[in-house]
A and B are shown apart, each in its own frame.
Chain A
């Protein structure tokens, strides 16, 4: 029984981190109506950039969480750049073209990451307090996974509270694609 419970918790932690990524993809789709094929690349860049900040900053709680925040901000800036440079031009294109264009971003980012961070495996340190394990029915369960399990629902709650139109009003509704027949989308 302990075994099933622990595997269930493992699954929850995995699902939570997948949810975080998927919710980002969903928001972007909701706003731009483009399935951003390069979303995984942004996730990767976020991890790498956060790693660079975390290893550069001192090994304290502020250093770790500050590094995460800085990583998120850096990817936000990159995302804005991609929107301005690429996505803005393809809102009215057929979906296949949008897919191809964002796939191009995938290739560029993959090679760029290889150039900047090299080919070696990089292991990011975990923050103090989340390195150890919590005893659950006699088994050691990683504290970091419990943290991940908590973050997912928190983000979900935040997304439910922030009104959808506050997120969507900056989108291309003024220039809707041919599918939408030129009408503004109902919020």
Chain B
């Protein structure tokens, strides 16, 4: 044959390969992810490792509905206005199918409001305030982690068994802190009407001036303390409080302090005997968690933090919802997510139809120091579904429902 004919034959043959290839490459499902990576790296970096692991596992088996997941991740710097601007850009420019993430409760509320206004599905991963699914809840917002109400209920259950009658509280002065303290006071007083609330402290988030604040708490002469400080503030609170004798002879109930991202930096200065919610990753024997732990350690070469479980579970939930919905259309996703059972490293969870809150629970236990590190001991898993109010009470809280 002549050269020209060879060329045509070659081009024709090549094009026959390209057509099936193009058909197999369906466009990926774009998911917008927003979190406070620069503001609270201790939580969000493991959280990112968690969701990256989940997405890898999902895409390794071909993705969902034959399409790979593509996550477009952005930093909100811990500021609600930046988070909303980012959300707007993700939805408007990147055309994501849904939004996920956030950490701080005020940021979570801002993005939830955006999602409601713009009719976009938002899977709130970590922000804990009740308002996200109750006072300011909407059909477009689902929340994974157990709320301040749920965790306060778990902790109040333990606190009620203590002899202490005079309680003082300290929590960061923003949505998460105010919500947690309000719930803890309400739930504990309901179990123990004899309890007297002798005082409160409200330092600005991540700006605790430990020495003076602790002196004020000492001056209140409490018998027990409820703490919701976390991150750098918790470290300062523990060190200064221990040195100044705040915790001598006093019970301490401390929200989130058993989470490794907050407990581990304390090393051998970790407090002992505090009642905490947390994540004792080294001692959970369930098959679901063991599988997650092995996969995480193999892939990330580090031990998981609670953030890792949150990130991983969030994207497993999203994949399950898309698979059940058979589409990425918002209304069908919402319908699919309600009452959808999903397996997570903490076991099976369900997103309730009444408020879109998941039944994910938390580990509650006591702190101790072993081998120069803070750990949780005597812990148990409190299933979220047992720590929620009745549907009737929730209906009264939801807007317009």
Cα distance, A144 to B236, chains bound together (Å): 14
- Once A6-B215, A10-B212, A123-B235 are accepted as A-B contacts, the answer to whether A140 and B265 lie under 8 Å apart by CB is no
Q: Are B265 and A122 in contact (CB under 8 A)?
A: yes
Q: Are A140's CB and B244's CB within 8 A?
A: yes
Q: What is the minimal beta-carbon distance from B384 to any residue of chain A, in angstroms?
A: 28
Counted as pairs of residues, one from A and one from B, with CB atoms less than 8 Å apart, the total is: 53
**A-contact 0/1 string along B256-297, CB 8 Å cutoff:** 000001001111010000000000000000000000000000
Interface size class, chain B: 20 to 34
The answer to whether A10 and B215 touch across the interface, beta carbons within 8 angstroms, is yes
Residue with the highest number of chain B CB atoms closer than 10 Å, among A122, A131, A140: A140
Given contact pairs A140-B243, A142-B244, A123 touches B265 in the complex (Cβ within 8 A) = yes
Interface residues of B in 1-34 (CB under 8 A from A): none
Interface string of A109-145 (1 = CB under 8 A from B): 0000010001111110000000111000001111011
Please name all residues of chain B whose beta carbon is closer than 8 Å to the beta carbon of A145 when the two chains form the complex: 211
Min CB distance, B57 to chain A, in Å?
25
Interface size class, chain A = 20 to 34
Scan A20-60; emit 1 where CB is below 8 A from any B CB, else 0.
Answer: 00000000000000000000000000000000000000000
Within the complex, the shortest CB–CB distance from B104 to chain A, in Å, comes to 16
Q: Are A120 and B265 in contact (CB under 8 A)?
A: yes
CB pair A132–B211 under 8 Å, yes or no, is no
- B244 x A123 contact (CB < 8 A): no
Complex contacts, B218 vs chain A, CB 8 Å: 139
* Chain B contact residues: helix, strand, loop or mixed: helix
Complex Cα–Cα for A144 and B212 (A): 15
Cα–Cα distance between A123 and B42 once the two chains are bound (Å) = 13
Q: State A145–B245 Cα separation when bound (angstroms).
A: 15
* Contact A131–B231 (Cβ < 8 Å): no
Establish whether residues A121 and B265, one from each chain, have CB atoms under 8 Å apart when the complex forms: yes
Interface status of B41 (Cβ within 8 A of chain A): yes
Choose from A120, A132, A141, A144 the contact partner of B42 (Cβ within 8 Å).
A120
Interface mask (B238-253 → A, CB under 8 Å = 1, otherwise 0) = 0110011100000000
Which A residues fall within an 8 A CB radius of B? 3, 6-7, 10-11, 13-14, 114, 118-123, 131-133, 139-142, 144-145
Binding site for A on B (CB under 8 A): 41-42, 45, 209, 211-212, 215, 218-219, 231-232, 235, 239-240, 243-245, 261, 264-267, 269
